[in-house]
Amino acid sequence: MYGKLYLCATPIGNLEDITYRVLRILKEVDIIAAEDTRHSIKLMNHFEIDAKMTSYHEFNKFEKAEVLINQLKDGKNIALITDAGTPGISDPGEVLVSRCFDEGIVVSSVPGPAACITALTMSGLSTRRFAFEAFLPREKRDRQRILEELKNETRTIIIYEAPHHLKDTINELYKTLGDRRITLLRELTKKFEEADRTTLLALINRFSSEEPKGECVLVIEGKSFEEIDEENQQKWESMSIEEHMEYYLNQGNDKKSAMKLVAKDRGVSKRDIYNYLLNLEED
């Protein structure tokens, strides 16, 4: 009989947020795979858990996953924990979970805190649809590519950031997205918890004379459909009808379909486009 992998959510700050079920599982399992054993031992000692810990982190996530898989196959039950929050969200847990599915090993979630959801619900911005980006890539080209994708994102955007990178990230977001409403959340669930609903430009001004402190979550308002429609309208109006037709013909549309799309973009009837092109041919 194979063992089971338990994804155990741990507090993101306040130790009182741990659940009874997580505590029970941590006491019962054979092994606790922790992102940083030095950090997690404090949690274990606080709750008087006999820690049978092993490290599982970003730099050993592939080779150590195979070790853990073999232990699960030997019938060991394993709890996976991260430094704070839910395993598998912005941490290497996703690799181990994927390998468990490959090997037919049962995975069970023992839910609890997650900084991204906590921040979203506190942000005062739309919670119905959201895009979670975690930490932006540090490599410049990948980072710029993600920022360009976010430029027209209509969902609320959630980004994690460390305090020493916060100023640069806010400046980059302002340059790429323009001035947007944003809620900066710091030190979630801790004594100095803060939720500052403001704008990107106001945050730039704030941190021109103040050094950021504490782990941060940025919740940014998505672009409105009205803004996108207005930008598209300006784009189409800057084109001649012939150029607009060519745009859709080059995408593989036949002439009839292209006329229909052009008419829709420009807010006119298909007959108007047909008559314009017919007169052009006659001239």
Q: What is the pLDDT of residue 242?
A: 86
Q: How far is residue 138's CA from residue 223's CA, in Å, rounded to a whole number?
A: 24
Q: What is the pLDDT of residue 283?
A: 66
Average pLDDT over residues 39-51: 93
Looking at per-residue pLDDT, the higher value among 88 and 276 belongs to: 88
Looking at per-residue pLDDT, the higher value among 194 and 243 belongs to: 194
CA dihedral defined by 103, 109, 114, 116, rounded to 10 degrees? 50
Structure tokens at 188: 């979630």
Q: What is the pLDDT of residue 272?
A: 85
**Looking at the predicted structure, is the pLDDT value of residue 119 above 80?**
yes
Average pLDDT over residues 216-245: 83
Q: How far is residue 236's CA from residue 52's CA, in Å, rounded to a whole number?
A: 63
Q: How far is residue 274's CA from residue 119's CA, in Å, rounded to a whole number?
A: 52
Average pLDDT score, the chain: 93
Q: How far is residue 16's CA from residue 75's CA, in Å, rounded to a whole number?
A: 32
Q: In sequence order, what DSSP letters do the residues of 36-81 get, joined into one string?
A: -HHHHHHHHHHTT----EEE--TTTTTHHHHHHHHHHHTT--EEEE
Average pLDDT over residues 103-117: 97
Q: How far is residue 12's CA from residue 145's CA, in Å, rounded to a whole number?
A: 30
Q: How far is residue 11's CA from residue 118's CA, in Å, rounded to a whole number?
A: 11
Average pLDDT over residues 10-27: 96
Query: Going by C-beta distance under 8 Å and a sequence separation of 6 or more, which residues neighbour residue 158?
Result: 116, 119, 120, 130, 131, 132, 133, 217, 218, 219, 220
